[in-house]
Amino acid sequence: MSEQSVPAQADSILCLISNPLDPVLNSKIVARIQDETGGEINWLAQKTACEIIAPKTGNTEQIAREILAGLPVDVALVPKQNRRKKLLLADMDSTMINEECIDELADELGLKPEIAEITAKAMRGELDFTEALATRVKLLRGLDLQAIKQVRRERISLAPGGRVLVHTMKEYGSYCALVSGGFTLFADYFAKRIGFDEATANVLEFDKSETLTGRVVPPIVDSSTKVRRLDELRKKLGIQDRQTLAVGDGANDLAMLKKAGMGVALHAKPAIAAAAPFRIEHGDLSALLYLQGYNEEEFVR
Ligand SMILES: [Mg+2]
Protein backbone atom coordinates (compact mmCIF):
# COMPACT_ATOMS: atom_id res chain seq x y z
CA MET A 1 0.00 0.00 0.00
CA SER A 2 1.05 3.57 -0.62
CA GLU A 3 2.34 5.54 2.33
CA GLN A 4 1.12 8.80 0.86
CA SER A 5 -1.29 10.56 3.14
CA VAL A 6 -2.48 14.05 3.86
CA PRO A 7 -0.25 15.35 6.62
CA ALA A 8 -1.41 17.31 9.64
CA GLN A 9 -0.90 20.93 8.64
CA ALA A 10 1.76 21.67 11.26
CA ASP A 11 3.83 18.84 9.85
CA SER A 12 3.43 20.07 6.32
CA ILE A 13 4.69 22.62 3.85
CA LEU A 14 2.68 24.48 1.27
CA CYS A 15 4.61 24.74 -2.02
CA LEU A 16 3.90 27.44 -4.58
CA ILE A 17 5.74 26.81 -7.84
CA SER A 18 5.64 28.59 -11.19
CA ASN A 19 7.47 27.99 -14.45
CA PRO A 20 10.99 29.52 -14.56
CA LEU A 21 10.09 30.93 -17.99
CA ASP A 22 6.96 32.56 -16.60
CA PRO A 23 7.86 33.44 -12.99
CA VAL A 24 4.70 35.07 -11.73
CA LEU A 25 5.11 34.80 -7.96
CA ASN A 26 5.70 37.94 -5.92
CA SER A 27 6.00 38.75 -2.23
CA LYS A 28 2.68 40.58 -2.21
CA ILE A 29 0.59 37.63 -3.29
CA VAL A 30 2.54 35.20 -1.07
CA ALA A 31 1.97 37.52 1.91
CA ARG A 32 -1.76 37.55 1.13
CA ILE A 33 -1.78 33.75 1.26
CA GLN A 34 0.24 33.67 4.49
CA ASP A 35 -2.12 36.22 6.07
CA GLU A 36 -4.83 33.56 5.86
CA THR A 37 -2.84 30.36 6.34
CA GLY A 38 -0.24 31.43 8.91
CA GLY A 39 3.13 29.68 8.85
CA GLU A 40 6.52 30.96 7.71
CA ILE A 41 7.46 32.13 4.24
CA ASN A 42 10.61 30.68 2.69
CA TRP A 43 11.60 31.62 -0.87
CA LEU A 44 13.32 28.86 -2.87
CA ALA A 45 13.81 30.85 -6.07
CA GLN A 46 13.00 34.48 -6.72
CA LYS A 47 9.60 34.90 -8.42
CA THR A 48 9.55 31.17 -9.23
CA ALA A 49 9.14 29.08 -6.09
CA CYS A 50 8.18 29.75 -2.50
CA GLU A 51 6.99 27.71 0.44
CA ILE A 52 4.93 28.35 3.53
CA ILE A 53 6.25 26.22 6.38
CA ALA A 54 3.78 24.74 8.85
CA PRO A 55 0.59 26.57 7.85
CA LYS A 56 -1.95 26.82 10.65
CA THR A 57 -5.26 26.42 8.83
CA GLY A 58 -6.84 23.24 7.55
CA ASN A 59 -7.56 24.13 3.95
CA THR A 60 -4.35 25.80 2.88
CA GLU A 61 -4.31 24.48 -0.68
CA GLN A 62 -7.80 25.79 -1.31
CA ILE A 63 -6.95 29.18 0.22
CA ALA A 64 -3.85 29.46 -1.96
CA ARG A 65 -5.71 28.50 -5.12
CA GLU A 66 -8.41 31.05 -4.46
CA ILE A 67 -5.93 33.87 -3.87
CA LEU A 68 -3.82 32.87 -6.90
CA ALA A 69 -7.02 33.02 -8.95
CA GLY A 70 -5.95 31.29 -12.12
CA LEU A 71 -2.30 32.44 -12.13
CA PRO A 72 -0.02 29.74 -13.61
CA VAL A 73 1.25 28.51 -10.23
CA ASP A 74 1.27 24.93 -8.98
CA VAL A 75 0.11 24.44 -5.40
CA ALA A 76 1.01 21.38 -3.34
CA LEU A 77 0.93 20.45 0.33
CA VAL A 78 3.80 18.11 1.16
CA PRO A 79 4.87 16.42 4.42
CA LYS A 80 7.93 17.84 6.21
CA GLN A 81 9.21 14.35 6.96
CA ASN A 82 11.32 12.54 4.39
CA ARG A 83 11.08 15.50 2.10
CA ARG A 84 14.27 14.85 0.13
CA LYS A 85 13.87 11.58 -1.69
CA LYS A 86 16.53 8.93 -2.11
CA LEU A 87 15.18 7.41 -5.31
CA LEU A 88 13.71 8.92 -8.48
CA LEU A 89 11.83 6.91 -11.07
CA ALA A 90 10.92 8.83 -14.20
CA ASP A 91 8.93 8.10 -17.31
CA MET A 92 10.61 9.16 -20.57
CA ASP A 93 8.17 10.12 -23.36
CA SER A 94 6.36 13.44 -22.73
CA THR A 95 8.06 13.54 -19.29
CA MET A 96 11.87 13.66 -19.58
CA ILE A 97 11.67 14.37 -23.33
CA ASN A 98 9.06 16.51 -25.02
CA GLU A 99 7.99 14.00 -27.66
CA GLU A 100 6.52 10.52 -27.97
CA CYS A 101 9.33 8.61 -29.73
CA ILE A 102 6.99 6.14 -31.40
CA ASP A 103 5.02 8.98 -33.03
CA GLU A 104 8.24 10.50 -34.40
CA LEU A 105 9.29 7.10 -35.79
CA ALA A 106 5.86 6.79 -37.40
CA ASP A 107 6.39 10.12 -39.10
CA GLU A 108 9.36 8.60 -40.98
CA LEU A 109 6.90 6.20 -42.61
CA GLY A 110 4.16 8.80 -43.13
CA LEU A 111 2.06 7.14 -40.42
CA LYS A 112 2.15 9.78 -37.71
CA PRO A 113 -1.57 10.66 -37.53
CA GLU A 114 -2.57 7.00 -37.36
CA ILE A 115 -0.01 6.00 -34.74
CA ALA A 116 -0.24 9.21 -32.67
CA GLU A 117 -3.96 8.62 -32.25
CA ILE A 118 -3.32 5.17 -30.78
CA THR A 119 -0.55 6.58 -28.55
CA ALA A 120 -2.82 9.30 -27.20
CA LYS A 121 -5.60 6.80 -26.44
CA ALA A 122 -3.17 4.42 -24.73
CA MET A 123 -1.70 7.23 -22.62
CA ARG A 124 -5.19 8.30 -21.54
CA GLY A 125 -5.79 4.71 -20.46
CA GLU A 126 -8.44 4.02 -23.09
CA LEU A 127 -6.55 1.12 -24.68
CA ASP A 128 -4.66 -1.84 -23.25
CA PHE A 129 -1.01 -0.73 -23.17
CA THR A 130 0.54 -3.98 -24.42
CA GLU A 131 -1.94 -4.37 -27.26
CA ALA A 132 -1.57 -0.74 -28.30
CA LEU A 133 2.22 -1.11 -28.30
CA ALA A 134 2.08 -4.27 -30.43
CA THR A 135 -0.28 -2.63 -32.93
CA ARG A 136 1.96 0.41 -33.36
CA VAL A 137 5.27 -1.48 -33.52
CA LYS A 138 3.78 -3.74 -36.19
CA LEU A 139 3.11 -0.66 -38.31
CA LEU A 140 6.79 0.34 -37.97
CA ARG A 141 7.98 -2.83 -39.70
CA GLY A 142 10.67 -2.15 -42.30
CA LEU A 143 12.05 1.01 -40.69
CA ASP A 144 15.86 0.79 -40.59
CA LEU A 145 18.23 1.45 -37.73
CA GLN A 146 19.90 4.42 -39.38
CA ALA A 147 16.54 6.17 -39.82
CA ILE A 148 15.75 5.52 -36.14
CA LYS A 149 19.08 7.01 -35.08
CA GLN A 150 18.36 10.04 -37.23
CA VAL A 151 14.99 10.52 -35.53
CA ARG A 152 16.77 10.25 -32.21
CA ARG A 153 19.30 12.91 -33.19
CA GLU A 154 16.99 15.36 -34.90
CA ARG A 155 13.49 15.14 -33.54
CA ILE A 156 13.76 14.60 -29.81
CA SER A 157 14.30 17.40 -27.29
CA LEU A 158 15.01 17.20 -23.57
CA ALA A 159 12.21 18.48 -21.33
CA PRO A 160 13.22 21.62 -19.42
CA GLY A 161 14.44 21.09 -15.87
CA GLY A 162 15.22 17.41 -16.39
CA ARG A 163 18.99 17.60 -16.28
CA VAL A 164 19.03 19.85 -13.22
CA LEU A 165 16.56 17.54 -11.47
CA VAL A 166 18.68 14.45 -12.00
CA HIS A 167 22.07 16.12 -11.46
CA THR A 168 20.94 17.75 -8.22
CA MET A 169 19.31 14.64 -6.78
CA LYS A 170 22.40 12.61 -7.60
CA GLU A 171 24.69 15.22 -6.04
CA TYR A 172 22.67 14.89 -2.82
CA GLY A 173 22.93 11.11 -2.84
CA SER A 174 19.83 9.88 -4.70
CA TYR A 175 19.62 7.11 -7.27
CA CYS A 176 17.86 8.01 -10.52
CA ALA A 177 16.20 5.52 -12.86
CA LEU A 178 14.44 6.03 -16.17
CA VAL A 179 11.55 3.58 -16.72
CA SER A 180 9.98 3.74 -20.14
CA GLY A 181 7.29 1.88 -22.04
CA GLY A 182 9.19 3.22 -25.08
CA PHE A 183 12.36 1.75 -26.53
CA THR A 184 15.90 1.11 -25.27
CA LEU A 185 17.31 2.77 -28.41
CA PHE A 186 15.95 6.03 -27.03
CA ALA A 187 15.89 5.36 -23.27
CA ASP A 188 19.54 4.27 -23.00
CA TYR A 189 20.67 7.21 -25.12
CA PHE A 190 18.65 9.92 -23.31
CA ALA A 191 19.27 8.41 -19.87
CA LYS A 192 22.97 8.94 -20.49
CA ARG A 193 22.50 12.47 -21.78
CA ILE A 194 20.31 13.48 -18.86
CA GLY A 195 22.48 11.73 -16.25
CA PHE A 196 20.31 8.82 -15.04
CA ASP A 197 21.99 5.88 -13.30
CA GLU A 198 20.04 3.35 -15.35
CA ALA A 199 17.26 2.87 -17.89
CA THR A 200 14.61 0.22 -18.43
CA ALA A 201 12.63 0.09 -21.69
CA ASN A 202 11.33 -2.17 -24.44
CA VAL A 203 13.68 -3.77 -26.95
CA LEU A 204 12.75 -3.42 -30.62
CA GLU A 205 13.48 -6.51 -32.70
CA PHE A 206 15.61 -6.09 -35.85
CA ASP A 207 16.32 -8.53 -38.67
CA LYS A 208 19.77 -9.21 -40.14
CA SER A 209 19.65 -6.17 -42.40
CA GLU A 210 18.99 -3.90 -39.38
CA THR A 211 15.35 -3.17 -40.19
CA LEU A 212 12.45 -3.51 -37.75
CA THR A 213 10.57 -6.81 -37.79
CA GLY A 214 7.49 -5.14 -36.31
CA ARG A 215 7.87 -6.93 -32.99
CA VAL A 216 9.11 -6.11 -29.51
CA VAL A 217 11.38 -8.60 -27.73
CA PRO A 218 9.50 -9.88 -24.64
CA PRO A 219 9.00 -9.24 -21.76
CA ILE A 220 7.12 -5.99 -22.34
CA VAL A 221 7.87 -3.04 -20.06
CA ASP A 222 4.44 -1.90 -18.91
CA SER A 223 2.80 -0.33 -15.88
CA SER A 224 3.59 -3.30 -13.63
CA THR A 225 7.25 -3.30 -14.69
CA LYS A 226 7.55 0.30 -13.51
CA VAL A 227 6.09 -0.58 -10.10
CA ARG A 228 8.34 -3.63 -9.84
CA ARG A 229 11.45 -1.60 -10.63
CA LEU A 230 10.45 0.92 -7.95
CA ASP A 231 10.17 -1.93 -5.44
CA GLU A 232 13.40 -3.62 -6.49
CA LEU A 233 15.43 -0.42 -6.28
CA ARG A 234 13.82 0.62 -3.01
CA LYS A 235 14.81 -2.71 -1.46
CA LYS A 236 18.29 -2.58 -2.96
CA LEU A 237 18.82 0.89 -1.49
CA GLY A 238 17.31 -0.17 1.85
CA ILE A 239 14.79 2.68 1.91
CA GLN A 240 11.04 3.07 2.51
CA ASP A 241 8.33 3.90 -0.02
CA ARG A 242 8.02 7.36 1.53
CA GLN A 243 11.62 8.11 0.51
CA THR A 244 10.85 7.60 -3.18
CA LEU A 245 9.75 9.97 -5.92
CA ALA A 246 8.13 9.09 -9.25
CA VAL A 247 7.11 11.27 -12.18
CA GLY A 248 5.14 10.53 -15.34
CA ASP A 249 2.31 11.67 -17.57
CA GLY A 250 0.53 8.56 -18.84
CA ALA A 251 -1.95 5.91 -17.74
CA ASN A 252 0.89 3.40 -17.57
CA ASP A 253 2.60 5.60 -14.95
CA LEU A 254 -0.31 5.83 -12.54
CA ALA A 255 0.39 2.67 -10.52
CA MET A 256 4.00 3.82 -10.03
CA LEU A 257 2.85 7.33 -9.02
CA LYS A 258 0.50 5.88 -6.44
CA LYS A 259 3.12 3.52 -5.04
CA ALA A 260 5.89 6.12 -4.64
CA GLY A 261 6.23 8.30 -1.55
CA MET A 262 5.68 11.26 -3.79
CA GLY A 263 4.03 10.53 -7.15
CA VAL A 264 3.88 13.52 -9.48
CA ALA A 265 1.81 13.73 -12.66
CA LEU A 266 3.66 16.15 -14.94
CA HIS A 267 1.66 18.00 -17.62
CA ALA A 268 -0.51 14.89 -17.66
CA LYS A 269 -3.75 14.05 -19.38
CA PRO A 270 -6.66 15.26 -17.17
CA ALA A 271 -7.78 11.83 -15.98
CA ILE A 272 -4.22 10.91 -15.01
CA ALA A 273 -3.59 14.24 -13.25
CA ALA A 274 -6.83 13.88 -11.30
CA ALA A 275 -5.92 10.39 -10.11
CA ALA A 276 -2.28 11.17 -9.21
CA PRO A 277 -1.25 12.15 -5.67
CA PHE A 278 0.55 15.32 -6.84
CA ARG A 279 0.27 17.39 -10.02
CA ILE A 280 2.57 19.82 -11.79
CA GLU A 281 0.68 21.61 -14.52
CA HIS A 282 2.66 24.85 -14.94
CA GLY A 283 6.20 24.25 -13.69
CA ASP A 284 8.89 22.29 -15.49
CA LEU A 285 10.81 19.33 -14.05
CA SER A 286 12.69 21.62 -11.64
CA ALA A 287 9.37 21.81 -9.76
CA LEU A 288 10.22 18.36 -8.38
CA LEU A 289 13.26 19.88 -6.68
CA TYR A 290 11.18 22.65 -5.14
CA LEU A 291 8.66 20.07 -3.88
CA GLN A 292 11.59 18.44 -2.09
CA GLY A 293 12.65 21.76 -0.58
CA TYR A 294 15.78 22.36 -2.64
CA ASN A 295 16.46 26.04 -3.19
CA GLU A 296 17.87 27.36 -6.43
CA GLU A 297 21.35 27.85 -4.97
CA GLU A 298 21.58 24.12 -4.28
CA PHE A 299 20.79 23.24 -7.90
CA VAL A 300 23.51 21.39 -9.80
CA ARG A 301 23.31 22.48 -13.44
MG1 LIG B 1 4.98 9.42 -21.00
pLDDT digit string (tens) for the chain, length 301 residues: 344 545 557 799 999 999 999 999 999 999 999 999 999 999 999 999 999 999 998 899 999 999 999 999 999 999 999 999 999 999 999 999 999 999 999 999 999 999 999 999 999 999 999 999 999 999 999 999 999 999 999 999 999 999 999 999 999 999 999 999 999 999 999 999 999 999 999 999 999 999 999 999 999 999 999 999 999 999 999 999 999 999 999 999 999 999 999 999 999 989 999 999 999 999 999 999 999 999 999 999 9
Centre of ligand 1 to C-alpha 53, Å, is 32
DSSP state of 93: B
Catalytic residues: 91, 93
Protein fold of 1-81: Alpha-Beta Plaits (3.30.70)
Write the single-letter amino acid at 53.
Answer: I
Domain regions of the chain by residue span: 1-81
Centre of ligand 1 to C-alpha 40, Å, is 36
Distance CA 81, CA 262 (A): 12
User: What are the residues facing 18 on neighbouring strands?
Assistant: 73
Distance CA 129, CA 122 (A): 6
Q: What is the DSSP string of 136-164?
A: HHHHTTT-BHHHHHHHHHHT--BPTTHHH
Centre of ligand 1 to C-alpha 41, Å, is 34
pTM of the model: 0.95
Q: Judge contact between 288 and 164, C-beta under 8 A.
A: no
Distance CA 203, CA 196 (A): 19
Centre of ligand 1 to C-alpha 133, Å, is 13
Burial of 157 (C-beta count, 10 Å sphere; 0-12/13-18/19+): exposed
